Structure 1
Amino acid sequence: MRFSPYWPVVTHPVLRRVLPGIAVSALGDGMSLVAVSWLALQLAPESARGAWVAAAVAAYSLPSALGGAVLGRYLRHRPGAQLAGWNAILRASALAAIVLVHAAGALSPGVYVALLAVSSLLAAWGSAGRYTLIAQSVPQEHHLAANSVMGTLSEAAALAGPPLAGLLIGWTNAAVVLAIDAASFAVLALTYRLAVPEPGDAPPAGPARVRLGRDKSGLLLVTFAFFLLFGPFYVALPLHVADDLHASATLLGVFYTVFGAGAVVGGLATPYVRRLPPWPVIVAFALAVLPLGLGAPPAVSLPAFALAGLCWAPYMPVMMALFQRTTPPERLPQLLAAFGSITVIAVPLGTAAGGPLVTAVGAERTLLLSALAMLALGLVTAAVSGGRLRLRERRVRPAQSREEFPV
């Protein structure tokens, strides 16, 4: 264990106190994946249940993009632990308000969606704060392992949380599960407050508008496209299981379970692939999901989808590590909040586009088109990255010969 890349993370004086709170909150958030939509089903009128469920699910994530865009001038200079703690406080407060209004018998669908939207307003900044805390506390050589721990906790919670939420809803109701989620965020907020040392003088706030540069802008664009192209899977996969494979919801659940299990394994393996560029992850993921679009039977497509989860897991930790090591500390929160906002918007947009696409060409062809588009994205990214690397090498060699860049 002492030779594992995770040992410096789990024994770090700050992270070892923060990680238990993050794990508790991740489990609560995993449970809310079921509770948010189920409570919307119970509150909505019969004629508009689908619309209110979609609104509730969107409200629990999309407003974070708005918060990431409009609150930069107020939050960009805050320490990472403070940003993450404020997000946890807001989540806990808004979810607790939902529970209290529900207990009073006054929770309408509109009020429910509004409170969910309030709860997610600082989510992008909370994620930025968590990774900024890593950059501020942990040596650079351990950033990737620390990022991987964060991602693996989320993936494990996505496996354990939904079944636990289903059991609790069966015994009680969805509001009780949201109360547990609120309590888990309260624990997280308290953890950040007590476990992280008070920061010294805040670093300079930096410019109001962060200049990303060509490389970071390209990475943001590639990430947006990757997540956008994955969005149709949320529409096409259930229909593929029902219509093309003529199977039940049980098989759909197995697909999501094997994907999550693969993601946990991939997250644990991430620190062993240091400085991995994004394009191999995209290409490997696209190849792994290709059997679904080719109509492979479950005996082939299920292991392939597990492999896709394994390939998916390293992407975010690797991207975070890249930004952490190449961005000045005073600019990191705003950059990571922008990155979080992009990922929050991309998947719902891709999901929305998946509906008309499935209607036009069918579920199986939608999966095939998405996989081929991701494969093309990965190959184009590889070609562009290789071209830029060769251009830099040509520029550096003459400069070194003139001793402008001494070794």
Structure 2
Amino acid sequence: MSATSTAEPAEPAVPAELTEPAAPAAPAAPASGLAARLVPRTYRGVLRQPDFRRLLAALLVSYLGDGLSVVGISLLAIRIAPAGSAELVVSASLAAYALPAALGAVVLAPWLGRANARSLLVAHAMLRAVAIGAAAVLALTDRLGPAGYVALLGVSSLLGAWGNAGTYTMLSELFRGADRLPANALVVTGQTAAIIVGPAIAGLAVPVTGPGPIVLVDALTYLFLALQLRRIATAGAGTGGAAANEGPAANEGPAVGEGEAAKGRRTGHGFRLLARRPDLIGLIVVTAVFFFLYGPVEVALPLYAVDGRDGSAGLLGAYWTLFGVGALVGGWAGGLLLRVRPWPFALAVVAGWGLALLPFGFLGPGWPTMLCLAVGGLVYGPFPAFNLALFQNAVRPADLPAVLAARGALTTAAGPAGMLVGGPLVVLLGAGGTLLASGVATVALAVLAGAVLLLATARRRRPAPANGASAS
């Protein structure tokens, strides 16, 4: 979510986009009575797709590894940091784990833009496995220093935007129209469920094993993902290829002609397509600033909970676990949001998350702030799936990797940039003060963006002067 939306935030016809007729589902046996009660029909429909089930299972294993690393990456940084510089090492490590993805999205576009979705995700998973695995092995042999750690994490994230684009392009190839939102929601909900299980496991394991083995398990889960992807068909195999050739939903997206579609994977093509959709650009701008303001939270929360080298890893795990519980519930509900206006929804998420951070500036670690983080997760949970569905339904699947990589170049860089700022902020304001400052700035972003939206709406509704009046 980014700030300074200079383009007029004209709202697209989202209900039409998100309720487009779906591709025919594969025939399946009727759901059992228990499954029908526990799983909404919206989700049962997409879970009938066998390739989606395989993809979801492989992603869930990888997300579990990421959940472990929510604790492992920062605690390993604290452990290897020289005395008095833990804040800066944590900040640099977390930024390196994601920031180079933005560089890779732009620099590698001439080559990776021509790859299919599965190849993009495999390449990302293998690079993560090798680089993170090397960091873990060096840590286990006491040969890992801060500079080497940051460098390996940076290498591991170089293909992050392309891996994410590959994931959601595969979903766009497997489904169309209204089925994409619940499919996105299941993937995002699985990711947030990993934040429940992973940090809790890591919080219990780190006091016994240290953070090195936790990071090694993360590397192995990426290797598992890369191997499992070989079993999954792509290019719309789940829908007979129909989704792969589908045009923009409801004619809301940019009408890319055959000649331009052939250029769909060239450098900058994703940015050119986005330039035709000021509503999507405005959403990206607000998203990017939102993520930037969230970045210091990733740095401050471990130091807030752990309080240096001698604090409780279990407490940090509990914070992230409760955040994950809230995000899991919110994400599950988000899959049913077929008729939501994008701008009011986005601004409500931004403001709600900022408000959830305010108590951290006045209270110490404990249950009150844990509950605040859980509420923040609940508010944020539906946002990722909803956001991505807008892009999937506005752009042809053939163009989607380039568009999502362009989006990722902007939004992926925002969070790590905020993490880099987070280190000096923690030194200046302390961990609690940094969390408070992030919350205040995030609420201010929602207010500012809402004011710009109201002004733009009022200007669009202002009647134009009549030609006859100007002539007289």
Q: If the TM-score is normalised by the length of the shorter chain, which range does it land in?
A: 0.7 to 0.9
Shift of 1:379: 3.6
Letter in 1 for 2:288: F
CA distance in 1, matches of 2:434, 2:131: 37
**Cα distance change of structure 1 residues 299 and 63 upon mapping to structure 2, 3 Å threshold:** closer
Determine the structure 2 residue equivalent to 1:81: 118
Letter in 2 for 1:266: G
CA distance in 1, matches of 2:216, 2:371: 36
Q: 1:130-188 deviations in whole A, cap 9, x for unaligned?
A: 11111111122021211111221121112211232344444445443333222211111
Contact 2:91 2:419 in 1 (8 A): no
Letter in 1 for 2:230: R
Q: 1:14 aligns with which of 51, 57, 60?
A: 51
Q: 2:228 aligns with which of 191, 198, 205?
A: 191
Shift of 1:232: 3.6
Letter in 2 for 1:225: V
Q: 1:204 aligns with which of 262, 281, 297?
A: 262
**How do 1:8-407 and structure 2 match up within 5 A?**
8-44=45-81, 46=83, 51-99=88-136, 107-197=144-234, 204-206=262-264, 207-209=266-268, 210-211=271-272, 212-213=274-275, 214-234=278-298, 254-274=318-338, 275-277=340-342, 278-292=346-360, 302-354=370-422, 367-385=435-453
Structure 1 residue ranges without an equivalent (≥5): 396-407
What is the TM-score when the length of structure 2 is the normalising length?
A: 0.71
Shift of 1:17: 1.2
Contact 1:77 1:330 in 2 (8 A): no
Root-mean-square deviation over aligned CA pairs = 3.7
Contact 1:77 1:205 in 2 (8 A): no
Contact 2:331 2:383 in 1 (8 A): no
Contact 2:88 2:423 in 1 (8 A): no
CA distance in 2, matches of 1:47, 1:370: 23
Shift of 1:249: 7.9
Contact 2:94 2:416 in 1 (8 A): no
Shift of 1:258: 2.6
- SS of the equivalent of 1:330 reads helix
Structure 2 residue ranges without an equivalent (≥5): 1-34, 246-260, 464-472
Contact 1:23 1:153 in 2 (8 A): yes
Contact 2:194 2:324 in 1 (8 A): no
**Cα distance change of structure 1 residues 78 and 228 upon mapping to structure 2, 3 Å threshold:** same
Shift of 1:101: 5.2
**Cα distance change of structure 1 residues 181 and 204 upon mapping to structure 2, 3 Å threshold:** same
Shift of 1:283: 2.9
Shift of 1:88: 0.8
CA distance in 1, matches of 2:412, 2:451: 27
Q: More relative contact order in 1 or in 2 (CA 8 Å, sep 6+)? A: 2
Q: 1:177-217 deviations in whole A, cap 9, x for unaligned?
A: 33322221111112212122467899734253122222222
**Cα distance change of structure 1 residues 288 and 115 upon mapping to structure 2, 3 Å threshold:** closer
**Cα distance change of structure 1 residues 294 and 194 upon mapping to structure 2, 3 Å threshold:** same
